[in-house]
Amino acid sequence: MKTILNTSNLSIGYKSRKGNVVIAQDLNLTFDSGKLIALIGANGIGKSTLLRTITGIQSPLAGNVYLNDKSISKYKPLDLAQNLSLVLTEKLPPSNLSVFELVALGRQPYTNWVGTLTPEDIVKVNEALALTQIEHLASKRHFEISDGQLQKVLIARALAQDTPLIILDEPTTHLDLLHKVSLFKLLKKLTQETQKCILFSTHDIDLAIQLSDEMIIMTPEMVVQDEPCNLISKGSFNALFKDEHIVFDAEKGKFIVN
């Protein structure tokens, strides 16, 4: 097992005229290969800021983010694209792209100046389609498929980008329970079969508890990273929502409404 990304005494937040707005500080998180890691926290707690900071989009207030032992700010865009791929929540702009073409765009960091696919690129794209079990969709247009299928296509695109770390921003948002579970299982399978590290933010806490290897819980007071069972025994989930009506049942491993 190898550490792909880690943060050292990282402080995240925004710089404003009145001074720094600190969202969280002294974060020491590690992301190892072959791990499925869930990031959870209430709305507005700063999950997006954390993701933006560790993907190098936003600069940290203090501390550092290391990707393969090199500070992420020192990466050129193309090098970064070969080490880190994203699956975002935003809607895709209208286009006529087929599923195959969309997944093949993931090869951009490796292709020549016009983006010609080499036989090796095509092998990688087909591998990504096979891993996500969407080969039968390859010739469909991306707007012809369901939300659940589209999410798999976007994951396949990230796989085709061939990076040791994949970060997904709320990949299960628009899906029903069946598709949520199948997506989580797919992510789990991918970490086991490809030894990639996959980090995703989610609000499906009970599913994440059951399926992820590690979880990061964000609350206003602290940010903790551990295996789900350890977090349960430490009682970390109780701090997640400041509401007397929502209680975490440690035995069942899920939240209960009083």
Q: Which residues are near another protein by CB under 8 A? A: 55, 57, 77-82, 84-86, 88, 90, 92-97, 101-102, 105-106, 108-109, 111, 113-116, 143, 161
CB of 109 to another protein, least distance (A): 4
User: Which residues have a Cβ under 8 Å from the Cβ of 116 and sit 6 or more positions away?
Assistant: none
CB of 188 to another protein, least distance (A): 23
CB of 24 to another protein, least distance (A): 23
Residue closer to another protein (CB basis): 3 or 82: 82
Residue closer to another protein (CB basis): 43 or 116: 116
3-state SS, residue 220: coil
CA atoms within 13 A on the CB side of 152: 26
CB of 84 to another protein, least distance (A): 8
Residue closer to another protein (CB basis): 81 or 224: 81
3-state SS, residue 127: helix
Between CA 76 and CA 124 the distance in angstroms is 23
Residue closer to another protein (CB basis): 117 or 239: 117
What is residue 176's DSSP assignment? -
> DSSP characters for 227-255?
-HHHHHHHTGGGGT---TTEEEETTTTEE
CB of 7 to another protein, least distance (A): 19
Residue with tokens 């996959």: 198
From residue 207, give the alpha-carbon distance in Å to each of 54, 120, 147, 215, 216: 24, 36, 19, 12, 14
